[in-house]
Amino acid sequence: MSREKTSIHGEWSSRLAFIIAATGSAVGLGNIWKFPYITGENGGGAFVIVYLLCVAMIGLPVMMAEVLLGKRGRSSPINTMRIIAKEGGHSRLWQLLGWLGVIAGFLILSYYSVIAGWALAYIPTLASDMFAAVNTMPQNDVADFAGSVFNNLVGDPLRLMFWHSLFMMVTITMVIGGVRGGLERAVQFMMPALFIVLLVLVGYAMNTPEFMKGLHFMFDVDFNKLFYPNGEDWSGKGLLAAMGQAFFSLSLGMGAIMVYGAYLPKQASIAQTTTAVVVADTLVAILAGLIIFPIVFSNGLEVNAGPGLVFHTLPIAFGQMPFGSVFGTLFFVLLALAAWSSAISLLEPAVAWLVETVKLSRVTATMACGVAIWLVGFATIYSFNIWSDIKPLSMLSGFENKTIFDLIDYLTSNIMLPLGGLFIAIFVAWLMKRQIVANELDTSPDTLGFRFWHFLLRYVAPIAVILIFLNAIGVLS
């Protein structure tokens, strides 16, 4: 029966349109802003390997499961889970999975918009060519200069508010445009352009004095750096961060990819389309690392500079390279566009549910969610200035230094998304009938490919998620 069903919100015009939109969701600040900085914080190579393993063994199978649920349910994640659970005679509680996702999406977008605002703020900064100054100052001052430009921005709540508001306003406008109008068109030109600019930057990085040191940092696997971050005590936190990053970067575990799956044309192959998305996403993250670490080492910056890392490093490169202000401006424009194509997928599950169930118009639903998220975003803005000393969970070990922004990020990426992924895996691999699942994938339950995927989803992904959780709590240490 699912074969005839289509979504009330519309449908992608083709399989390629789905790939473009899902890649647009996956590729964003997670690849270019977050991947380099948490790789830096977690010691490099070993973290990267664990990340790649999580992408392949957990991320890809779970993404297929999420798309499959969406394609069968053809609704917002909450209703998709309700419909499919009912169809199989399972508990109504499964729709809580959709709710978990809606809440995670809210929280993620609240800070995502603030960080995307940094990218917007850097557009005029780069266009003004002020970073050309790095060519005439002593090499030792370059890092400080880039750092002070960044600190001036994040120390100024009003400026952050302005850019955060602009980002949310445009996000709301795009989501109101709906599946075909808003989402599809924007991403089409941006992804290839972003890729080209990244390649130009890799070319620049290859000519910096410490390119090889950057490579070694990213690819030399030393597990001591991951498990003994301070040299003495064993810690499972790096492992959790790698898994959380895999979920975050692939937009998994909160229904974003599920709701995009709901708009998938009937005939599209899930295995191929999701693989394309995963490969593209991973490539962009690796390219970002290849660009940023050589710049870090060549200019005496700190790898564990935290969330400001990209904003400390790249402007230096743009200051030094020919036509740097042009490339720099273009880069931050593209980064903002990449962030927008991700942001719309964070908002879409909630909007789709409000339209279906509460019967709000698309405009009202989007405005209501958007304004709420915009307000929650102020907590992140203040985390970088007037509230930077507020550490709500400082009594817990490991959380001493976490601001409100850090906590929202930790809760969503490292806990809510993997938890969502765990339940998606359990539902599809343990509760849904093999035959039904195989039908949705347009294959038979006996093919090798299906059995391998099913095995990953049934055993490998859930056990890995649970072990990594237990590890981080310290139960296994």
Q: What is the rounded CA–CA span in Å between residue 92 and residue 86?
A: 7
CB 306 → ligand TRP: shortest distance, Å?
Answer: 17
State the residue number with the nearest CB to ligand TRP.
30
Q: C-beta of 128: minimal distance to ligand TRP in Å?
A: 27
Residues near 140 by beta carbon (within 8 Å), at least 6 away in sequence: 300
Report d(CA 200, CA 196) in Å as an integer. Answer: 6
**Of the candidate residues 119, 264, 286, 346, the single one contacting ligand TRP (CB under 6 A):** 346
97 binds ligand TRP (CB under 6 A): no
Give whichever of 35 and 387 is closer to ligand TRP, judged by the CB atom: 35
Q: Is 70 in the site for ligand TRP (CB under 6 A)?
A: no
Residue 331 · residue 201 · CB < 8 Å: yes
How far apart, in whole angstroms, are the C-alpha atoms of residue 159 and residue 136?
Answer: 28
Report DSSP letters for 414-442, one per residue: IIIHHHHHHHHHHIIIIIS-HHHHHHHTT
What character string, x for contact with ligand TRP (CB under 6 A) and - otherwise, covers 106-135? Answer: --x---------------------------
CA distances, 58 to each of 100, 191, 357, 463 (Å): 19, 25, 32, 10
Q: Is residue 245 at the binding interface for ligand TRP, with CB under 6 A as the rule?
A: no
User: Of residues 21, 23, 28, 81, which one binds ligand TRP by CB under 6 A?
Assistant: 28
Least CB distance from residue 212 to ligand TRP, whole Å? 28
Which region among 79-87, 323-331, 341-349, 376-384 touches ligand TRP (by CB under 6 A)? 341-349
Burial degree of 207 (CB within 10 A; 0-12, 13-18, 19+): exposed
Which residue in 23, 42, 110, 249 binds ligand TRP (CB under 6 A)? 249
Residue at 345: amino acid letter: S
> Max CA-CA distance within the chain?
71
Query: CA-CA distance, 394 to 385, in Å (whole number)?
Result: 18
In the bound state with ligand TRP, the residue whose beta carbon lies nearer, of 242 and 316, is 242
Report how far apart, in Å, the C-alpha atoms of 17 and of each of 14, 35, 261, 431 are: 5, 26, 11, 31
Binding segment toward ligand TRP, per CB under 6 A, in 171-179, 226-234, 251-259, 364-372: 251-259
Smallest separation (angstroms) from ligand TRP to the CB of 369: 14
* Binding residue (CB under 6 A) for ligand TRP from 215, 239, 254, 337: 254
Of the residues 80, 251, 325, 329, which one makes contact with ligand TRP according to CB under 6 A: 251
Alpha-carbon span 329 to 332, nearest angstrom: 5
**Nearest 5°: CA angle at 428, between 423 and 415?**
20
Is position 29 an interface residue for ligand TRP (rule: CB under 6 A)? Answer: yes
For residue 179, the minimal CB distance to ligand TRP (Å) is 16
Looking at 7, 21, 22, 30, which residue binds ligand TRP (CB under 6 A)? 30
174 lies in the binding site for ligand TRP (CB under 6 A): no
Q: Is 76 in the site for ligand TRP (CB under 6 A)?
A: no
Contact yes or no for 114/377 (Cβ under 8 A): yes
Subset of 413-442 contacting ligand TRP (CB under 6 A):
417
Is 25 an interacting residue with respect to ligand TRP (CB under 6 A)? yes
C-alpha distances out from residue 452 to 57, 246, 434, 455, 463, Å: 11, 20, 13, 5, 16
**How many whole angstroms separate alpha carbon 198 and alpha carbon 194?**
6
Candidates 7, 23, 31, 42; binder of ligand TRP (CB under 6 A) is: 31
For residue 306, give the H/E element and its range: none
Residue 26 interacts with ligand TRP (CB under 6 A)? Answer: yes
The nearest distance, CB 228 to ligand TRP, in angstroms, is 28
C-alpha dihedral sign at 184, 257, 287, 453? negative
Regarding 345 and contact with ligand TRP (CB under 6 A), the answer is yes
Size of the site for ligand TRP (CB under 6 A): 16
| Residues forming the site for ligand TRP (CB under 6 A) | 25-26, 28-31, 108, 248-249, 251, 254, 256, 342, 345-346, 417
